Amino acid sequence: MNLDSKIPEGPLAEKWDKHKFNVKLVNPANKRKYDVIVVGTGLAGASAAASLAELGYNVKAFTYHDSPRRAHSIAAQGGINAAKNYQNDGDSVYRLFYDTVKGGDYRAREANVYRLAQVSVNIIDQCVAQGVPFAREYGGLLANRSFGGAQVSRTFYARGQTGQQLLLGAYSALSRQIAYGKVKMYTRSEMLDLVMVDGKAAGIITRNLITGEIEKHAAHAVVLATGGYGNVFYLSTNAKYCNATAAWRAHKKGAFFANPCFTQIHPTCIPVSGDYQSKLTLMSESLRNDGRVWVPKTVEMAQRLRAGQIRVQDIPEEERDYFLERKYPAFGNLVPRDVASRNAKQMCDEGRGVGSSGLAVYLDFAEIIKRTGADSVAQKYGNLFDMYAKITGENPYEQPMRIYPAVHYTMGGLWVDYNLQTTIPGLYATGECNFSDHGANRLGASALMQGLADGYFVIPYTIGDALAQTPPKPVTTEHPAFAEAEVAVRERIAKLLSINGTRTPDDFHKALGHVMWEYCGMARNAEGLKHAKAEIQKLRREFWSDLKLVGTETEMNQALEKAGRVADFLELGELMVDDALDRNESCGGHFREEYATEEGEAKRDDENYAYVAAWQYVGDNQPEVLNKEELKFENVKLTQRSYK
């Protein structure tokens, strides 16, 4: 199939303005005749639902949470990028665009990224006007900090709780529209399938998580803002409920899934402490502004440390290897996430890791505390230090943090065109749910930016273009396709409940996570990936023959909810492996051991792999079909990334 990305003609800087002029408009009186479903109420969903309702559309918003204020956007710590150049340090829309394309290792679409950089400045204005309490300087103006992968300070923040403050801003805008009756809010409501009528998205099937009731909802357009799929790995920094079900159900109805193997491993997470571990906690990347990453210079010293024969405080300066500063003098501790993660793994592989498991490196604040005082450090990072102390029982003001990489974000997602429309007409994907802006690696403080850009400033324009070409007839769930989809959902739930085996959903999830982390994690190779594929297929068969559930579908049944999500992860995991096997190069978060430079850095193959891999579902247990969207770089010169 020919993938039309619908990128507008003309110079890069003019594409979005021209496109906004060229899209068809729905006249104000007609907007109330259109219904739009928005699934997910994180940054991308809440901002879209509020903005669409403000324009006059009737919005139905869905979340599986008890409130639209809980989505995992809330946990983003560090900040949000915007090309304001308030710091007079040489930032510009073009520089943010350039940094993002380069940071993404040249696997993102130029036009989308440029638009993202353009609207980034509007996001800050919007959030300030909502009352989001961003950090301020003494003169009353907005403060900025620097972040990995950039040499300018363009990150806006609200202490270590930027995601919370931005989400509460979007939630407040959404709440206002709920009060006006323009948004009908469905909480504790999980999307379990997409309904297609005449090849177009016509609605969704949901399950009420309290009563178990299966509901049908129709609309003229459906927006999925359902986040990423990092929980395929079981252990990740994602919230426990984060899942791929909505996106995966849409994929199985015809939406292509792009670059599933592009997953981001975040370098600064609290290490695993035991096999009971239910999730991993991120320590914001902003800590790398002031923390210095190191391990002991020698394996012998690391061994003594792990055995408890020596304390970290007693290791003399000359015995410490600040490996990021040593290897990348220009960027130092602020190299992009993928580079920082791989280097930490390399140190641990060499036997120089710390902590009892040896799977950790130090992030040390001694120098900044000495230079500016503990109070000043607390002002900046207080909540992060407190969180670290609560989880580990160690005081980071007195001894360095132990950190290790963990799965954090997924750059891949549903394939969308410039309008954020998937390959299914009438179905849109925004935020982490789509694949569009981060290429093979996302820069820090760019996820919040993309979620809000899509929701506040892109989808309100682009969805109108499609709706203007749709007759404003009332929608119903009368079409037989709704009944069919409902029956399929009920049958699947009944099947899950009837297996009556011995293993719990979590048990299967952990087993899948182990396979994914070992063979499709920070470093991958063809042999391991082939092994993983067989393992996942085996797990999937076991799941459908040995799953243990109790209770019924007509009550609150959290294990049943979990089982449905794990079933989808067991299919998506295999596609991630297929994608990683197809991509015979290393780029960004995708590091194939066979494709590395002599210095061990990722080696891209622009000749053969400068494409978006968009996978097409063609039937259960059949190989998916690969469709390629060639990436054209007309403005940025492809170079080997260097942060030295």
Nearest Cα neighbor of 136 from 152, 159, 120 is 159
- Give backbone dihedrals phi and psi of 421, rounded to 5 degrees, phi first: -90, 135
Contact residue for another protein among 148, 228, 355, 413 (CB under 8 A):
355
Nearer Cβ to another protein (119/224): 119
Give the side-chain half-sphere CA count within 13 A for 257: 29
Nearer Cβ to another protein (7/135): 135
| Site residues (CB under 8 A) for another protein, limited to 547-576 | 548-551, 555-556, 558-559
Contact residue for another protein among 402, 479, 565, 641 (CB under 8 A):
402
Nearer Cβ to another protein (502/622): 502
Nearer Cβ to another protein (550/618): 550
Question: How many of the other CB atoms lie within 10 Å of CB of 492?
Answer: 14
- Span near another protein by CB under 8 A; candidates 275-283, 420-428, 485-493, 574-582: 275-283
Residues near 24 by beta carbon (within 8 Å), at least 6 away in sequence: 464, 465, 468, 469
Handedness of CA 550, 551, 557, 560 (dihedral sign): positive
Query: What binding mask, one character per residue, do residues 357-396 give for another protein by CB under 8 A, x or -?
Result: x--x-------------------------xx--xxxxx--
Residues near 507 by beta carbon (within 8 Å), at least 6 away in sequence: none
Contact residue for another protein among 87, 151, 172, 525 (CB under 8 A):
172
Residues 151, 486: Cα–Cα separation, whole Å? 52
37: left (phi over 0), alpha (psi -120 to 50) or beta: beta
Residue count at the site for another protein (CB under 8 A)?
94
Q: How far is the CB of 141 from another protein (least distance, A)?
A: 5
Query: What binding mask, one character per residue, do residues 490-519 give for another protein by CB under 8 A, x or -?
Result: ------------x-x-xx------------
Q: How far is the CB of 136 from another protein (least distance, A)?
A: 4
Nearer Cβ to another protein (250/360): 360
Q: Which DSSP string corresponds to 570-605?
A: HHHHHHHHHHHHH--S-BTTB-BTTSB-TTS-B---
CB 466 within 8 A of CB 419: yes
Nearer Cβ to another protein (92/357): 357
Catalytic residue among 249, 337, 402, 604, which? Answer: 337
Q: How far is the CB of 498 from another protein (least distance, A)?
A: 14
Contact residue for another protein among 4, 14, 17, 125 (CB under 8 A):
125
Adjacency order of strands within the sheet including 263-269:
263-269, 401-410, 361-364, 292-296, 320-321
Query: What binding mask, one character per residue, do residues 145-164 give for another protein by CB under 8 A, x or -?
Result: -------------xx-x-xx
The length of the chain in residues reads: 644
| Site residues (CB under 8 A) for another protein, limited to 234-263 | 239-241
Q: How far is the CB of 20 from another protein (least distance, A)?
A: 12
Q: Which residues partner with 455 through β-bridges?
A: none
Residues 499, 434: Cα–Cα separation, whole Å? 34
| Site residues (CB under 8 A) for another protein, limited to 282-311 | 282, 308
- Span near another protein by CB under 8 A; candidates 59-67, 316-324, 468-476, 593-601: 59-67
Q: How far is the CB of 55 from another protein (least distance, A)?
A: 8
Nearer Cβ to another protein (147/331): 147
Residue appearing with tokens 């695993």: 272
Query: Taking CB under 8 A as the rule, does residue 25 contact another protein?
Result: no
What tokens were used for 6? 């619908």
What tokens were used for 135? 């950090």
Nearer Cβ to another protein (463/549): 549
Judge whether 337 counts as a catalytic residue: yes
- Span near another protein by CB under 8 A; candidates 27-35, 177-185, 323-331, 475-483: 177-185
What tokens were used for 278? 């239910």
Residues 468, 34: Cα–Cα separation, whole Å? 10
Handedness of CA 461, 466, 471, 476 (dihedral sign): negative
Residues carrying an active site annotation: 337
